[in-house]
């Protein structure tokens, strides 16, 4: 029988996703066939799968750690927030509709059928399935109909290990308190705990580990020291953008990225953020675009028209025109590309109420939202310099107009994508992941006057996954986790 182990957390962003990725790499290196699984995820950072759907970015990274192609069954329910109270619902890779938070609760029983179907499919092809929970099981007000944490664990008989983040403080209370609020049958599913992101002398927390074990009856599986290189792995949640940002030292180019309220697929910028000598700053609402920026990027958006309205409300449209008057470049990615055109029309109400909004008018193109979503991996080259790229399309909407006669990219199948302004300063594309190819990224930086870098992005991700697996093997009882599964 295929083994399974579920990693839940005392809250969001305690490190569940990366722990699953690290364990996936560690167990894969031991010769096991591993599959990651997250019953329900909420994220606007998504990835396209080989089977033509979309899943959370974290599950794509976990699949990579397990050295397998990502599948829609690794994240059968994906919620993509469109407002403070509503989200697009993606089931087994395909959007089935949108729901308000309260409406979604009524959907859960039928969604559980898809969750269990996907889980069984993965069990049929693996030695062990590593399951990641969502949020925290301590949110007992949401326990009825739960498909993400204890509801799933109970339905499948999957043992749970609970993770607490000591870097936040209060880890003893969060672990012991989680047990205190759970119903006894739910609490019985938790068999052990992990304390994550410890800094300092681990012997100073030995008594803390013993106290948690004594209060809960759970087995301690390890105290994981803080792993700085985790920041080099693609993040899933926009909370990662709240971390302090480094600015350039004056020697290299500065790239500014507008941080829309509904920013999506912001991992597009990770390869640039990790490039030595390059400054990348995310510009939050209420902050002007830095006058010294060499390149301004309008990233993807889950609700393009709403974020375009926000852009204008912040006065960023004025900043963009001033940026162009200084002879600097602007690049739009997916939703950001749509904003650069003359208009965006949503006649079917794909993103909300049907409406049409004037765009920024920096590209002579128009976009019409459609109910067909394009989800496909792509490869090709940039027309300007014939440098290669590999990425993916994930968008609704068709963009047409005179400036598309000057496309930015040429796909391997001969299709063209994107548009470039007559003066060459403004460009847009639907392709995500453009900068991950080292040669493509170097070409963009060369346009900004940067010297060729030595960064190897994809190889760097692999190296970090291996080092993190080593880190977990050294500090966790991985043999014990396998016995528990």
pLDDT tens, position by position, 355-385: 999 999 999 999 999 988 899 999 999 999 9
Count of alpha carbons within 13 Å of 8, Cβ hemisphere only?
30
Q: What is the pTM of this model?
A: 0.92
Q: What are phi and psi of 160, to 5 degrees?
A: -120, 140
To the nearest 10°, report the CA torsion of 458, 463, 464, 466. Answer: 130
d(CA 61, CA 84): 27
Q: What percent of the chain has pLDDT over 90?
A: 85
At residue 237 the predicted structure's pLDDT band, cuts being 50, 70 and 90, is: low
Active site residue 432: yes
d(CA 88, CA 97): 6
pLDDT at 53 over 80: yes
What distance lies between CA 437 and its chain's CA centroid? 19
d(CA 105, CA 204): 43
| Helix axes of 457-475 and 16-29: crossing angle, nearest 10 degrees | 90
With b for 16 or more beta-carbon neighbours within 10 A and e for fewer, the 231-242 pattern comes to ebbbbbbbeeee
Q: Pull the structure tokens for residue 26.
A: 């560690």
Give pLDDT, residue 239.
Answer: 55
Nearest to 375 by CA among 67, 3, 145, 50: 50
What integer is the mean pLDDT of 193-204?
A: 96
State the CB neighbour count (10 A cutoff) for residue 383.
Answer: 16
d(CA 70, CA 227): 25
Active site residue 395: no
Give pLDDT, residue 242.
Answer: 61
| Helix axes of 206-216 and 171-181: crossing angle, nearest 10 degrees | 10
pLDDT at 184 over 70: yes
Pick the residue with more confidence: 426 or 106? 426
Q: What are phi and psi of 176, to 5 degrees?
A: -65, -40
pLDDT at 81 over 60: yes
Give pLDDT, residue 241.
Answer: 63
What integer is the mean pLDDT of 336-351?
A: 95
Give pLDDT, residue 250.
Answer: 59
Give pLDDT, residue 106.
Answer: 87
pLDDT at 435 over 60: yes
Q: Which of 323, 334, 395, 475 is catalytic?
A: 334
Q: Which of 262, 395, 432, 471 is catalytic?
A: 432
| Helix axes of 457-475 and 57-65: crossing angle, nearest 10 degrees | 80
d(CA 373, CA 360): 24
Among all chains, which residue has been given the structure tokens 């209370």?
173
Decide: 314 and 337 in contact? Cβ < 8 Å: no
At residue 218 the predicted structure's pLDDT band, cuts being 50, 70 and 90, is: very high
What integer is the mean pLDDT of 444-450?
A: 90
Give pLDDT, residue 311.
Answer: 98
The CA distances from residue 210 to 166, 198, 207, 221, in Å, are 15, 16, 5, 11
State the CB neighbour count (10 A cutoff) for residue 311.
Answer: 21
State the CB neighbour count (10 A cutoff) for residue 452.
Answer: 11
What integer is the mean pLDDT of 127-137?
A: 97
Give pLDDT, residue 411.
Answer: 97
pLDDT at 244 over 60: no
What integer is the mean pLDDT of 266-284?
A: 93
Q: Which residues contact 387 (CB under 8 A, 6 or more apart)?
A: 381, 437, 439, 440, 442, 443
């Amino acid at each position: 029988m295929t083994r399974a182990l579920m990693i839940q957390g005392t809250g969001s962003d305690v490190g569940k996703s990366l722990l699953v990725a690290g364990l996936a790499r560690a167990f894969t290196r031991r010769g096991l066939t591993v599959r990651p699984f997250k019953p329900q995820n909420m994220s606007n950072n998504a990835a396209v799968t080989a089977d033509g759907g979309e899943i959370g970015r974290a599950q794509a990274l976990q699949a990579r750690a397990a050295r397998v192609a990502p599948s829609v069954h690794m994240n059968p329910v994906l919620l993509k927030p469109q407002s403070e109270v509503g989200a697009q619902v993606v089931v087994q890779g395909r959007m089935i509709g949108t729901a308000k938070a309260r409406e979604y609760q009524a959907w859960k029983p039928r969604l559980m059928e898809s969750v269990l179907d996907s889980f069984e499919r993965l069990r049929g092809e693996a030695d062990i399935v590593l399951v990641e929970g969502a949020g925290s099981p301590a949110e007992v007000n949401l326990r009825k109909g739960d498909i993400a944490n204890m509801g799933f664990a109970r339905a499948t008989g999957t043992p749970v290990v609970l993770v607490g983040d000591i870097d936040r403080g209060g880890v003893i209370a969060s672990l012991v308190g989680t047990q205190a609020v759970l119903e006894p049958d739910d609490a019985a599913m938790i068999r052990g705990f992990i304390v994550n992101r410890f800094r300092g002398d681990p012997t100073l927390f030995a008594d803390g580990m013993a106290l948690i074990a004594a209060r809960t009856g759970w087995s301690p599986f390890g105290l994981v020291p803080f792993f700085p290189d985790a920041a080099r792995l693609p993040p899933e949640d926009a909370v990662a953008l709240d971390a302090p940002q480094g600015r350039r030292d004056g020697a290299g180019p500065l790239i500014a990225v507008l941080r829309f309220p509904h920013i999506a697929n912001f991992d597009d910028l990770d390869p640039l953020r990790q490039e030595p000598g390059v400054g990348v700053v995310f510009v939050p609402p209420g902050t002007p675009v830095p006058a010294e920026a060499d390149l301004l990027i309008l990233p993807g958006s889950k609700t393009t028209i709403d974020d375009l309205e926000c852009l204008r409300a912040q006065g960023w449209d004025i900043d963009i025109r001033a940026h162009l008057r200084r002879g600097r470049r602007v690049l739009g990615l997916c939703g950001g590309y749509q904003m650069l055109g003359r208009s965006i029309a949503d006649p079917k109400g794909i993103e909300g109420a049907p409406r049409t909004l004037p765009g920024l008018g920096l590209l002579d193109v128009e976009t019409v939202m459609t109910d067909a979503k394009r989800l496909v991996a792509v490869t090709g080259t940039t027309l300007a310099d014939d440098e290669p790229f590999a990425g993916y399309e994930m968008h609704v909407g068709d963009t047409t107009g005179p400036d598309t006669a000057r496309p930015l990219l040429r796909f391997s199948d001969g299709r063209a994508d994107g548009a470039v302004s007559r003066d060459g300063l403004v460009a847009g594309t639907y392709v995500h992941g453009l900068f991950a190819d080292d040669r493509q990224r170097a070409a963009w930086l060369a346009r900004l006057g940067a010297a060729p870098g030595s960064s190897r992005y994809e190889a760097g991700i692999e190296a970090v996954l291996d080092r993190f697996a080593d880190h977990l093997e050294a500090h966790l009882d991985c043999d014990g986790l396998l016995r528990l599964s």
